[in-house]
């Protein structure tokens, strides 16, 4: 399994179907945060960054993060080409993407990674730091900056548009 450190690693050599250990900085954003970024502009630089389609549950007193499982990625499809144009390089979620997103991934040389749905507690164990960076009024749907270590993910769509979802 290859290591991928974000935001510094190059994603151009990743191939659909390849397993990775993901570490580094990722941002969470779900539907409401995406809508705001589209309407009001992105409140931080997306150049070379990663967005995880998730909203962390509140943490217990002894934990860094509550469960943080992936949201169905297709819900973000209407916003994704805009964010890729803004410099986003990595998306992480679950499920398939539409054709417009696949084309935008090829144009902007980004990748789409998937992780296991239903594994929110396990994924939370990979979070080493967490802080709200935008839209605190959205609660768990605020944009959070996460520092993660060794999260297993699968490359679902690579920069060439190859997909694990193809027949």
Residues serving a catalytic function are 34
The DSSP bridge pattern shows strands 143-157 and 111-114 to be: antiparallel
CB-based contact 13:158 (threshold 8 Å): no
Cα(32)–Cα(39) distance, integer angstroms: 11
Which of 108-145 are b and which e, b meaning 16 or more Cβ less than 10 Å from the residue's Cβ? bebbbbbbeeebbeebbbbbeebeeebbeebeebbbbb
Burial of residue 96, with CB atoms counted within 10 A of its CB: 0-12 exposed, 13-18 middle, 19 or more buried: middle
């Amino acid at each position: 399994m290859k290591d991928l450190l974000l935001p510094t690693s190059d994603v151009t050599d990743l191939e659909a179907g390849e397993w990775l250990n993901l570490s580094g900085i990722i941002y969470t954003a779900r539907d409401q945060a995406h809508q705001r970024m589209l309407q009001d502009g992105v409140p931080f630089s997306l150049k070379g960054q990663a967005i995880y389609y998730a909203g962390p549950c509140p943490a217990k007193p002894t934990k860094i993060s509550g469960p943080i499982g992936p949201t169905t990625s297709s819900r973000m499809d209407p916003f994704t080409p805009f964010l890729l144009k803004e410099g986003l390089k990595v998306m992480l979620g679950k499920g398939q993407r539409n054709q417009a997103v696949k084309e935008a991934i090829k144009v902007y040389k980004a990748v789409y990674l998937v992780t296991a749905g239903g594994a929110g507690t396990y994924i939370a164990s990979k979070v080493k730091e967490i802080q709200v960076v935008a839209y605190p009024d959205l609660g768990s749907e605020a944009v959070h900056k996460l520092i993660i270590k060794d999260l297993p993910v699968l490359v679902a769509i690579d920069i060439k548009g190859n997909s694990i979802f193809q027949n």
